[in-house]
Structure 1
């Protein structure tokens, strides 16, 4: 485990010269994304952060932006409204950012929740949590890769479940539409594997970009209360139990933010960033170079070699083709 002291020491070196000067946070209105934005702004570095969120989050987020401005007057927080579960809106948001910026240093993707209730679909026909946790994220990456390539140390972080991939997925039903294939657990395990499969393919095609699939561990993000059918008594019981466990055994909001700032800036992942004197991370192919890093809640790389090898051999081609075909109308 990378100790919290080591992480704090590394983050203390983030300054105007070493910070990701331009970042895009999708999911930064709450949870891990919000905690990481606060940690980044608290470094005092001169940064521009695009904070993407839906209209219903705008009012409470204004107070958060004011808080960040008080913490760091050099932090330029750009509120960017959009419904990121809709791929057409993702495209619109990306076009706005591409018009304003010539480069992006960090793309941080954390929107999503576990769908504990009945299946819900977007107006585009995608299961809601899958759109947030997979298709939307991959579309953001594909749109913004040209700007990421202009950075000296570009990094993409998808926060979900890196290292938890299972070797068997529903490759012939990637969207889990067939009867009996969809549930909260099945959905999450499917979307975790899809993230890693497609991110690894993107990493191989873009060797100058470091990709991280992060497992955040136990953090109270409010997600224990999301995804349930309205009025569910089970939801209240589940939230009470899970949030109690997190209180005693999980990370605080501050530590979660610091750990993800470390993932966003340290040369432990790919060799570019804040100098790191500890053990270098290895990517999903077992190499200490840019690629896809599966990073657990301890900030350690977990290549998950057995499962990833089987997914790579059996399913990566089919999933990559399916994903590109589905996203093509929005590129």
Structure 2
């Protein structure tokens, strides 16, 4: 656990040498991504941020960009429109970034929402939440690896459920396509475990990149409402009961923003970044070396050793091979 006082003290040390010069935020038009962008801009450093979102988000995004420019004129925010639930669009967006940049210091991924509605597939035949929370996130990493590997302290932060992995995932139906196999909790646990096992594999192959799979705890972002008919009984339950509970126990926006800025910059994870004198974090292999860090809402590392050992032995290669097969046409 890292106290909020320690978080703020660390973030106050962010300067031109330790701030990400080029950052890519996928899912930064709302929620934790948007909060973290604002916190980064408020450091006053010179940074270029690529903000990626859907056409329907552009008007609000442009207003947000104007606010950020007033806060810190040295920060440059570049809007890229893209429907990143689609793998083809994700590839196109990455090609745009690669045509403009020779480096990426930070890739921050927050797309997705609780999959508690009916199963809905994209035009590419992938369940939409799985596409947002897993496939397109991994595709962004794949495409931007070459730019991440060109900087001194690159970092990938995927915000979902690091440390909450369970072993009861369906290896025979990773995409949960069999009749009756898709369900909200089952799907979310499946996508979390797939994120972690694949990010750990990528971390082992790219030892100079710090990977973080973050569990943010409860943050009132409105994501539990997405993906369902607003007039349905489930939407009514969410609105009347679940959202007030989330709001009651959630971090406020400022603390969530600062904690994720800390995860994006601190040498607590992997030893490179803003200097850290506290206890070093341990990665998913329970080592203090670089790698994949499973970071909880208190910014503590939770290696989840028992579950991870089983997933590493029995699931990682199957998930990796399946992911390669799905993403191959878009690499």
TM-score under structure 2 normalisation?
A: 0.99
**Aligned-partner Cα distance in 2 for 1:96–1:79:** 11
The answer as to whether partners of 2:162 and 2:294 remain within 8 angstroms in 1 is: yes
Q: Which residue of 1 aligns with 2:127?
A: 127
**What is the DSSP-based 3-state SS (H/G/I as helix, E as strand, rest coil) of the residue aligned with 1:7?**
helix
Q: Which residue of 1 aligns with 2:277?
A: 277
Instruction: Give CA deviations for 1:146-176 in whole Å, capped at 9, x if unaligned.
Output: 0000011000000000000001211111000
Q: Which residue of 1 aligns with 2:69?
A: 69
Q: How does 1:186-201 map to 2 (within 5 A)?
A: 186-201=186-201
**Aligned-partner Cα distance in 2 for 1:147–1:36:** 21
**Aligned-partner Cα distance in 2 for 1:81–1:234:** 31
- Note the C-alpha offset of 1:248: 2.3
Q: Which residue of 2 aligns with 1:146?
A: 146
Q: How does 1:87-166 map to 2 (within 5 A)?
A: 87-166=87-166
- Note the C-alpha offset of 1:258: 0.5
Q: How does 1:74-85 map to 2 (within 5 A)?
A: 74-85=74-85
- Note the C-alpha offset of 1:287: 0.5
**What is the DSSP-based 3-state SS (H/G/I as helix, E as strand, rest coil) of the residue aligned with 2:211?**
strand
The answer as to whether partners of 1:47 and 1:74 remain within 8 angstroms in 2 is: yes
Q: How does 1:24-63 map to 2 (within 5 A)?
A: 24-63=24-63
Instruction: Give CA deviations for 1:42-66 in whole Å, capped at 9, x if unaligned.
Output: 0000000000001000001111111
**Aligned-partner Cα distance in 2 for 1:74–1:228:** 40
The answer as to whether partners of 2:210 and 2:270 remain within 8 angstroms in 1 is: yes
Instruction: Give CA deviations for 1:212-254 in whole Å, capped at 9, x if unaligned.
Output: 0000111011112112234213212223323222332210111
Q: Could you tell which deviates more after superposition, 126-135 or 249-258?
A: 249-258
Instruction: Give CA deviations for 1:113-147 in whole Å, capped at 9, x if unaligned.
Output: 01211100000000000000000000000000000
- Note the C-alpha offset of 1:111: 0.4
The answer as to whether partners of 1:269 and 1:280 remain within 8 angstroms in 2 is: yes
**Aligned-partner Cα distance in 2 for 1:241–1:49:** 37
- Note the C-alpha offset of 1:32: 0.5
Q: Structure 2 unaligned runs (5+)?
A: none
**What is the DSSP-based 3-state SS (H/G/I as helix, E as strand, rest coil) of the residue aligned with 2:49?**
strand
**What is the DSSP-based 3-state SS (H/G/I as helix, E as strand, rest coil) of the residue aligned with 2:254?**
helix
The answer as to whether partners of 1:167 and 1:306 remain within 8 angstroms in 2 is: no
The answer as to whether partners of 2:230 and 2:236 remain within 8 angstroms in 1 is: no
The answer as to whether partners of 2:11 and 2:258 remain within 8 angstroms in 1 is: yes
The answer as to whether partners of 1:224 and 1:239 remain within 8 angstroms in 2 is: no
Q: Which residue of 2 aligns with 1:262?
A: 262
**Aligned-partner Cα distance in 2 for 1:313–1:177:** 24
- Note the C-alpha offset of 1:325: 1.2
Q: Which residue of 1 aligns with 2:297?
A: 297
How many aligned positions are there? Answer: 331
**Aligned-partner Cα distance in 1 for 2:44–2:200:** 33
Whether 2:215 is the aligned partner of 1:208: answer: no
Instruction: Give CA deviations for 1:59-114 in whole Å, capped at 9, x if unaligned.
Output: 01111111100110001000010000000000000000001000000000000001
TM-score under structure 1 normalisation?
A: 0.99
- Note the C-alpha offset of 1:211: 0.3
